[in-house]
Chain A
Amino acid sequence: MSAEATKNITFPKELLDEVARLTAQYPEGKQKSALLRILHMAQAHFGWLDAPVMDYVARLLHLQPIEVYEVATFYSMYDTKKPGLVKLEVCQTGPCSIEGADKIIRYIEKKLNIKVGETTSDGIFTLKGVECLGACGYAPMLQCGHQYHEHLTEAKVDELIEQYRKNPKANYMEY
């Protein structure tokens, strides 16, 4: 990334205030504890966690870049590769599986003409199979943004895809 582009990586004031609030919740010298939440903020704001974004977070928290990289690559919610604007994350574990998660995944694959793990050519949708999201009683389900969509049917998937195509950031929550 060019120096020019790197320069533009900065949180707006309200997010910087939020960083200050979050880090103040921990004792002096323990500000690294806010890292996971700040990475969520960075991902929501910048779209994904590429190296310049992680370097920026490292500077904010006075950490070495490697301390941020190793955390960002450990947790499955962080994208260190660029995803589509809308991530459809279908739970595929145990109870969801026996309630038809696989059929839902196959249906979305066919509908969007992509395989699990891929992004549509227009860059809008990424389909992921994820592990248990704690919605077992309301299966099958998928997560998109910060929203759970439960009791999925093919008709409901159609509606969701329509809704997210119109507004990729529908149902996103502020950090």
Chain B
Amino acid sequence: MRKLLLDKVDVEGIKSYDVYRREGGYRSVEKALKMSPDEILEEVKTSGLRGRGGAGFPTGLKWSFLAKPEGVPRYLLCNADESEPGTFKDRYLMEKIPHLLIEGMIASSFALGANSSYIYIRGEYMFAMKIVENAIAEAYANGWLGKNIQGSGYDLDLTITCGAGAYICGEETALIESLEGNRGNPRIKPPFPAVEGLWQRPSVVNNVETIAAVVPIINDGGEEYAKIGVGRSTGTKLISASGNIVNPGVYEIDMNMTVEEFIYSDKFLGGIKNGKKLKACVPGGSSVPILPHYLVTKTAKGEDRLMSYEGLADGGFATGSMLGSGGFIVYDEDQCIVRNTYNFTRFYQHESCGQCSPCREGTGWMKKVLHNIETGKGTMDDIDLLWDIQKNIEGNTICPLGDAAAWPVAAAIRHFREEFEWHVKNPELSQTQNYGLVAEKTFEVEPA
């Protein structure tokens, strides 16, 4: 497979402008500046590119919603707040090949008619911010940013700014609030950012990888881009792989690949570490439903599961999950699902901004209940209580953090209820041993 984003990452010195340019960098800007913004929009629509931050919303459609009132500035905002547990691809891209993001920002800003654009990067990624900041300075020095870019008459200022440790700022309206110098409390939508975004002006918020993907789309054309992948999962996708695997890291894949090949091929994850067996997988970042081993590589219908938006979602939440941000976390047979669910719930409780009661209170309750079960103090009723709390969070909050907190709990109970029950029934044993792969079957013979 031809890589579109990471094909040059191993070229020595690719972080520098000179090498990046020599390798064909900034061609998409040269091409874009000769096109009309509408022509670029059409290419992006044709490409079928979908938002790479997690939601998978078609990028061309999102761009087409941008309001363009006369005389009002509009903005392209790059979401580099990557914070979803399991996800580290944007950091990789910015550290390894920062000019690709800048090139994408220039071409995309031109298409949207933005003359000021901002990259919002999470505060902990200070090292990556420095790299991108240097690359921005090089781009200014070489006439790709600033006034009259390459003699085209188009002006663009690009600024990088940072957060300070708040997962919620990856939500687009919270990101805008934070960019305005406020607490990262998500806004009620509508109005959508496309109409009232940064400083109440029309804004588009796109993920780092999404913006980088605009470069090959302009270079090769949307139609070529759409030939890669499968169905509505066009192009390539960056996957951050972590957990109990032989080769963790960032991979650029064709979404037409099977999960089986991705996990077990030596070219990718290389299988489960230390010869252990696969127990479960969270395929798209901590918020997506966890899949038990028998639903990871096969769908409920017994077909090979694909690493695509549709493939990972096959079966809905009953037997599927989501591609999400591409944070692919693999669990071996020694891992405890209750402990992992507690861990994720603690994360969401910590990151809840506190605006909406179901999320603020619910995440805390779930954390306490899960902690009880994990430490051998839980009851059978607690499992039903957990189910009830997550149900009452989902869909009842301003932003999707509530859903993100509810889904992992729901999926863990849906697929691993026996393991929760085992913890309740074996309060002492569960403190020294994990349930492992004991599996659902043993429970048929368990006395009532």
Contact = CB atoms under 8 A, between A and B. Distances in A.
Given A136-B327, A137-B248, A173-B127, 16 more contacts: A25-B157, A27-B73, A36-B163, A76-B164, A92-B343, A93-B286, A94-B343, A95-B86, A95-B242, A131-B347, A131-B350, A133-B124, A136-B87, A136-B248, A137-B241, A146-B126
Contacts of B350: 76, 131
Given A33-B181, A134-B83, A139 B122 contact: no
Interface in A105-143: 130-139, 143
Interface string A29-42: 01011111101100
Interface string B118-158: 00001111110010000000000000000000000000010
B91 A32 contact: no
B180 A95 contact: no
Contact of A137 (B82, B127, B181, B242): B242
A134 B88 contact: yes
Contacts of B249: 137
Contacts of B353: 74
B179 A33 contact: yes
Contact of B329 (A27, A95, A131): A95
Nearest to A44: B126
B416 interface: no
A148 interface: yes
B88 A148 contact: no
B84 A36 contact: no
Interface string A144-164: 001110000000000000000
Nearest to A61: B181
A97 interface: yes
| Chain B residues touching A, range | 35 or more
A92 B346 CA distance: 10
A1 B309 CA distance: 57
Interface in A63-86: 70-71, 74-78
Nearest to B124: A133
A75 B166 contact: yes
Contacts of B165: 75-78, 130
Interface string B84-95: 111110110000
16 contacts: A25-B161, A30-B199, A32-B181, A33-B180, A35-B181, A71-B183, A75-B165, A94-B85, A131-B347, A134-B125, A136-B88, A136-B243, A137-B249, A138-B88, A146-B126, A173-B130
A143 B128 CA distance: 14
A99 interface: yes
A98 interface: yes
A133 B128 CA distance: 13
Chain B interface, DSSP helix/strand/loop, else mixed: mixed
Highest count of chain B CB atoms <10 Å: which of A27, A94, A146, A147? A94
> Which 5 residue pairs across A and B have the least CB separation, nearest first?
A75-B164, A32-B181, A136-B242, A77-B165, A137-B248
Interface residues of A, number: 41
Given A134-B83, A173-B126, A173-B130, A97 B161 contact: no
Given A35-B181, A74-B183, A95 B123 contact: no
A78 B164 contact: yes
A74 B184 contact: yes
Interface in B271-293: 282, 286
Given A94-B329, A94-B344, A95-B242, A33 B91 contact: no
B244 interface: yes
B224 to A, nearest CB: 30
B252 interface: no
B178 interface: yes
A136 B295 CA distance: 23
B181 to A, nearest CB: 4
A16 B12 CA distance: 37
Nearest to B81: A134
B299 interface: no
B4 interface: no
B252 to A, nearest CB: 14
Contacts of A74: 166, 183-184, 353
